[in-house]
Amino acid sequence: MTTLTNLEQVRRVVTAIPGPKSVAAIQRRAEAVSGGLGLTFPVVIERASDAIMLDLDGNQIIDMGSGIGVVNVGNSSSKVVERVIEQVQAFTHTCFTVAPYLNYIEVCEALNRLAPGTHKKKSMLANSGAEAVENAVKIARHYTKRQAIVVFEHAYHGRTNLTMALNAKNMPYKDGFGPFAPEIYRVPMPYEYRWLGPKETITEDAIEMITHKIEKEIGANNVAAILIEPIQGEGGFIVPPLGFLPALSKYCTDNGIVFMADEVQSGFARTGNMFAIESEGVIPDILITAKALGGGLPIAGVTGRAEIMDSSHVSGLGGTFGGNPVSCAAALGALETIESEDLIGRARHIGDVLGNGLLALAAKYPVIGEVRGRGAMLAIELIKPGTIEPNSDAMSKVLKYCMANGVFILSAGTYNNVIRFLPPLVITDDLLMDTLTVLDEAFATL
Ligand code: PLZ
């Protein structure tokens, strides 16, 4: 067994980025891999640990994206690696619904314990966020005997057929890929920065618009579920105003609607709570998780009130690979790390260090219209100074500069003008400060 030594947690630029080996590998990629796949950084990774990635050319790059909010515990985190190695040596697959195994049950027990609320909960596991969302919709419809699903402007829920219909944005997620699933209804999202009405009454006004739409256009008695990301991810880290999620949750309870929180991106200590929905004490009927649950291996969860989760007939839920034992082992390692290393506290600390740094940049560069987010889920929205007109050109330039200088930062947003920060929660303060320095240089070049 080879043991890979951990990478020193420092940024080191030794060639142009992308360097010659990456450029050659990206040419091979273009020959072999479907052109339908995007490519954020044309840089090929050889190894990664914690918050540093090593590319083929020997550059050490700061990871500010965690593979889109997945490696919250850091890349190749030790407890994940140890448990995965143990599990692949024991057995790799049986199919849980054919012949069960303990670690699937243990992941469900952990999810039931960690999900908000003290009521009796049960879980099921799937392979990806989209698959978990699909299962949550199946379960809510079966439980309520209703069909309509209410989703929001700027929402993102996946790339399968049903989840494409749930997404708000046409390009690149939906264009030409229809027809889409029926019985999906979209309602306004209180996106404070771009809200046209008075901001003082945004919560009340948004709830009024949403409930009016539900009652007049759908009928509350036809709504199986309201599905929302407590902080919207791909849509641009849109944080709903205070009071909005509690009011929405109450409306669901009053009308027999299942309240479903998609915490695929915001979950697992990311926002300074185990789940973002906890910040206002809201208890979802169904919690959807994926990404960081597996610490880098594919796994997803649907966790909910026991009576909801038990409502479908036996064998109505399943899948060959859902909750694969190797992924379950990884999940147990990731959850153990999150709890034992207080990554919730770390996320809050990152929120302070990075958040203050971003506010300082915003004070210096008027192209930054807003700094928002919570904990280690932070974003800046770029605009044309003096307006709120989206500035995606500035965003591309800043992110390109950062890439060339060894810092990978992701974009987001309906208007492609948001820079989002999702660092591994184990990132050092030095790497955060180094990132802020590179960002400052990047904005200075605009
Ligand atoms: N729900 C809130 O953020 C995945 C998409 C990457 P999967 N977001 C990253 C891309 O461009 O494909 C996501 C999410 C929320 C669901 C999903 C879907 O999760 O694991 O990608 O299926």
Q: Is the pLDDT of residue 379 over 80?
A: yes
Split at pLDDT 50, 70, 90, the class of 143 is very high
**Could you tell me the residue ranges of all domains in the chain?**
20-63+343-444, 80-340
Ligand 1 centroid–CA 318 distance in Å is 20
**CB proximity list for 56: less than 8 A, separation 6 or greater:** 19, 21, 22, 25, 44, 45, 46
Over 70: is that where the pLDDT of 293 sits?
yes
Query: Does residue 339 carry a pLDDT above 90?
Result: yes
pLDDT surpassing 60 at residue 287? yes
- How many other CB atoms are found less than 10 A from the CB of residue 7? 18
- The mean per-residue pLDDT over the stretch 76-91 comes to 98
Q: Report the pLDDT averaged over residues 132-160.
A: 98
**CATH class label, 80-340:** alpha beta
The residue to mutate among 66, 131, 149, 157, having the most atoms of ligand 1 within 8 angstroms of its beta carbon, is 157
Which residue, by CA, sits nearest to atom 4 of ligand 1?
158
User: Which atom of ligand 1 has the smallest separation from the CA of 298?
Assistant: 20
Each residue's pLDDT tens digit, 16-58: 999 999 999 999 999 999 999 999 999 999 999 999 999 999 9
- The answer to whether residue 400 scores a pLDDT higher than 90 is yes
pLDDT value at position 101?
A: 98
User: Mutate which of 154, 234, 299 to test ligand 1's pocket (most atoms within 8 Å of Cβ)?
Assistant: 234
Mean pLDDT of 397-422: 98
Mean pLDDT across the stretch 240-246? 98
Predicted confidence at residue 4, as pLDDT, reads: 61
Per the CATH hierarchy, to which homologous superfamily does domain 20-63+343-444 belong?
Aspartate Aminotransferase, domain 1 (3.90.1150.10)
Alpha carbon separation from 139 to 123, 134, 379 (Å, rounded): 11, 9, 33
- The finding on whether 133 has its CB within 6 A of some atom of ligand 1 is yes
CA distances from 427 to 8, 54, 242, 292 (A): 12, 15, 29, 15
- Return the ligand 1 atom nearest residue 158 CA: 18
Distance CA 123, CA 37 (A): 32
Region 214-229 average pLDDT = 98
Answer whether 80's CB lies under 8 Å from 295's CB. yes
3-state secondary structure string, 318-342?
A: CCCCCCCHHHHHHHHHHHHHHHHCC
CATH fold match for the domains 20-63+343-444 and 80-340: no
Ligand 1 lined by 57 (C-beta under 6 Å): no
pLDDT of residue 418: 98
Tell me, what's the pLDDT at 2?
Answer: 43
Residue 7 has pLDDT above 70, yes or no: yes
Residue 294: both structure tokens together: 């597996």
Q: Residue 81 above 70 pLDDT?
A: yes
Any atom of ligand 1 within 6 Å of the Cβ of 68: yes
> Over the Cα atoms of the chain, what is R_g?
22
> For the segment 194-209, what is each residue's pLDDT rounded down to a tens digit?
999 999 999 999 999 9
Q: What's the rounded mean pLDDT across residues 352-365?
A: 98
